[in-house]
Amino acid sequence: MADGESSSSSSNNAAAAAASPAAGGSSSLRPSSSSSSSLNSSASSSSSLSAVLRSRATLHDFPLVATSFAVVLCAAIAASSNVYLWINLCMAVGAYVTALLLIPATQGLFEKAELAGYDLNKVERCKIPEGLGVIAASVYLVIMFMYIPLHLESWLAGEEKARSYEKLLEFVSALLAICCMVFLGFADDVLDLKWRHKLLLPTIASLPLLMVYFITYGGTNVIVPLPLRGLLGVSVNLGFIYYIYMSMLAVFCTNAVNILAGINGVEAGQSLVIGLSILTHNFIQMQSDDSKYKADHELCAQILMPFVAVTAALLYHNWFPSKVFVGDTFCYFAGMTFAVVGILGHFSKTVLLFFMPQIFNFVYSLPQLFRFIPCPRHRLPKLNPQTKLLGNSYATFSMAEIGTIGRIIVKILKTFRLADVQDENPSEVKLSNMTIINFVLLFTGPTHEKRLANHIMLIQVACSCLALLIRYPLAKVFFEVVE
């Protein structure tokens, strides 16, 4: 992935380093006072939840709609099952309120530590604190740790004690993997780790979870679709390859959220939609008569409901105009959470269906990621200061420097209009950067940042609906039984 997209929203660590003024109250979006007094002012103003909501919410905002849907969905899940999901839901509400108030209250700490950057998609270049995803992740982990003793009696007093102990082990291993990624993500925000490290870290963090999977479940069989059974049989045992696949799932999920970035609210917004989509899948599966299968999805719902809550709170402050940037910490946190529920719930392939926009973004970006076409540090859209609209950003190069494969790719992109190619002068070719955000701008033209963010969210929602359609009605074409 491009290093220029490794930070939150549209300002990365690199952007902050390039600008390099000292962080202070006068250069941030906060009131013109010192960092400590700003923190005290934020803390006092945040004491009223209604004041925070009034300052950010409008009836036309995506965060308000998504949060409302999240409340309804989580309540439906809790109502359909046992009392512990109700407890989890109540704690998720507490996590939402806590994160909503704590994020603005801690902005001054990040500014004081110079963890701040410039929003490159705004005419007024004010410093904005970044890495606030660590606050949402910390609230999530505290809530989940508090949830363990509340549910411990149920796990230890289950009729099938061995299975109950397995569930406790799975739950703790999930939190361990998520906690590892939060720590590594914050290290990335502070140290600006290299691209190769971003691939290695999720692999290491997933190891405890894979060991627990091996001990408690260990299944590596894959059901073969009906048209291929004459060739491969009913199922195929992938053995060790399946564990490599699950490890790569963690790598993909964390980095896929990370590279679909560049405008306010996109990282948190896509994560909220994916989280709600997986919860919808869990709700459907919890209607199963198979108690073991139902328990797996209840466990996933218990992991996801507090995640959706803190993500909704973070999105409130990260939505346009962003007051905070989420940082790599949140991207790693979100990606690992999705990978965890996919592995523990045994529906990793379904999780990938909900990542269709991220898969498209990754595949579309491959020519630049593998340097067949030059990849600039920042691939976010370009702001027109006069109109305050976002348009395509471009990579500039000569045809002679990109090699044969690069020239073939440029020709394909131009022929099928998959990118804006300006090649009248072979020594100075301009190609619109290959991200899904720039791809959308090919069709919409110059667009306001908030409207563009809504377009991306609409694509994510539409793909989630398509994923559920594929997972249920269409899956019957390829399998006899669709659970």
Q: Which residues contact 300 (CB under 8 A, 6 or more apart)?
A: 278, 282, 341, 344, 345
Given a cut of 60, whether residue 353 has pLDDT beyond it is: yes
pLDDT at 84: 84
Per-residue pLDDT of 22-60, as tens digits, reads 333 333 333 333 444 444 444 444 445 555 555 554 444
Please report the DSSP string for 209-220 in residue order. HHHHHHHHT---
pLDDT, the chain, mean: 84
Given a cut of 70, whether residue 420 has pLDDT beyond it is: yes
Per-residue pLDDT of 260-285, as tens digits, reads 998 999 999 999 999 999 999 999 99
Q: Which residues contact 28 (CB under 8 A, 6 or more apart)?
A: 38, 107, 111, 116, 126, 127, 128, 129
Q: For 297-308, what is the mean pLDDT?
A: 94
Structure-block tokens of residue 111: 């500014």
Q: For 322-340, what is the mean pLDDT?
A: 95
Q: For 445-473, what is the mean pLDDT?
A: 95
Q: For 97-113, what is the mean pLDDT?
A: 94
In this structure, are residues 74 and 279 in contact, taking their beta carbons and an 8 Å threshold? yes
pLDDT at 483: 59
Per-residue pLDDT of 382-405, as tens digits, reads 999 999 999 999 999 999 899 899
CA distance between the termini of the chain: 36
Given a cut of 70, whether residue 9 has pLDDT beyond it is: no
Compare 56 and 449 and report the one with higher pLDDT: 449
* pTM, full prediction: 0.86
